[in-house]
Amino acid sequence: MALAEPPAPNDPPPRKLPRDARRLQLIEATIEVMAGAGYARTTLTEVARRAGLSHGLVNFHFQSKERLLAETLLYLAEEYRQNWTEALEGAGPSAPEQLHALMRADFNPRICTPARLSAWCSFWGEAQGRPFYQELCGAKDAEYNLVLEALCARMNAEHGYAAHPQRAARILRVTSEGMWLDMMTMTSPYAVDEATATVMTAAAAFFPRHFDAGGLIVGQR
């Protein structure tokens, strides 16, 4: 399954919306602008044009480009957190089931879109974006890392593996992040299915009785 942009709406966005809905409209427009222009070249004028709104309305809701980018990053970070926590809540109770759900969550079509991946890459990749990202998202990253490390530790304790939990978790995390980067930067990017299979192959290197490229091995819980 290749990544595909969501279809463009047939009608222009309505101009009279509640305050929260208007802010969300502008944040979504910012994500789209960052996907094409990057972090440094995103402007309030272009965000307003993309949203179909006036420059004054963008200033009214966010006051500055820095505030708009901060709110956009916080929105993306909370969306990402909700995605993986919901995946865990919907998984079975065993460590293999939860680890599988956590890894697959990164490729949920709700968050794994070209525009969102490009926006994340902009925050990660440009010099202005890195300290900005750490300041606003460091705590959420630490929470995710601890959950992933705990699941790797449970795989050892409950299923007899001997992987170093912190290193195994780090490798799984950077593999998933690397797939996101490759899907954005390669001339012939991976399809989502191939990216997912790559992450599962990394899991299989540590937990071979429970994972293969297809994911959680049938019958292994």
pLDDT for the residue 4: 41
Q: How far apart are CA 211 and CA 191, in angstroms?
A: 20
Q: Which domains does the chain have, with CATH numbers?
A: 70-216 (1.10.357.10)
Q: Is 191 or 168 the better-scoring residue by pLDDT?
A: 168
Q: List the one residue out of 144, 32, 35, 140 whose CA is nearest residue 99.
A: 144
pLDDT for the residue 5: 42
pLDDT for the residue 162: 97
pLDDT for the residue 32: 94
Q: How far apart are CA 182 and CA 213, in angstroms?
A: 18
Phi, psi of 215 (to 5 degrees): 115, -140
Question: pLDDT tens-digit profile of 109-146?
Answer: 999 999 999 998 888 776 555 677 778 788 888 999 99
Does the structure show a pLDDT above 60 at 3? no
pLDDT for the residue 187: 67
**C-alpha dist (Å) from residue 207 to 58, 107, 211:** 49, 21, 6
| Total-model pTM | 0.85
